[in-house]
Copies of this chain bind each other. A is one copy, B any other.
C-alpha cells in the first residue's frame, strides 16, 4: 500500500465502524478543503465521484464522525451547520466570524498555550472531561470596519 492509512481510519476501526467508500469519500473531501463545508456542499462534491450517494448518507456520516470526534460540527450563524476535520490531538483553532459579511477567519494557533491552560483549569475545576472546544470571536472584520457601516 502506497500511502499509510490516515489517522481517522484507525479511529474508525477501533470504534468498530466500517470504513465504507461513502465515508472515505466524505472524509477525503473534508481533508482536501480549507473551507468549512455544509452537508449540501459536501454532498455535491462527493457526487462527482460517486453520483449515487444519498443526502441522508452524508448527514448520517457527518453525525457519526462528529460523535466519535473525527469531525467538528460548527454553527457560524448562516442557517446551516458546517463541518471540518478535527485536528489530530484535541487542539482546535479559534474562529473569527464577521457579523457583517459573514466571512470566517481562522487563527493560526498562536493562542494554543493559553487555551490549553484554560482547558486544564476548567477540567479540574468542574471535573469535566473536555473532548474538544469551539471558540468563536464574533465581531467585525478589517474590511467591514472600513467600508460597511
Contacts and interface: CB of A to CB of B under 8 A. Distances in A.
B75 A128 contact: no
A14 interface: no
Task: List the number of copies, as a whole number.
Answer: 2
Interface in A82-130: 94, 96, 98-99, 105, 107, 110-111, 114-115, 117-119, 121-122, 125-130
A130 to B, nearest CB: 4
A135 B134 contact: yes
Contact of A111 (B98, B118, B127, B131): B118
B137 A136 contact: no
A38 to B, nearest CB: 15
A138 B132 CA distance: 5
A25 interface: no
Q: Is the interface of A mostly helix, strand, loop or mixed?
A: mixed
A128 B141 contact: yes
Contact of A122 (B111, B119, B127): B111
Interface of A: 67, 73, 75, 77, 94, 96, 98-99, 105, 107, 110-111, 114-115, 117-119, 121-122, 125-142, 145
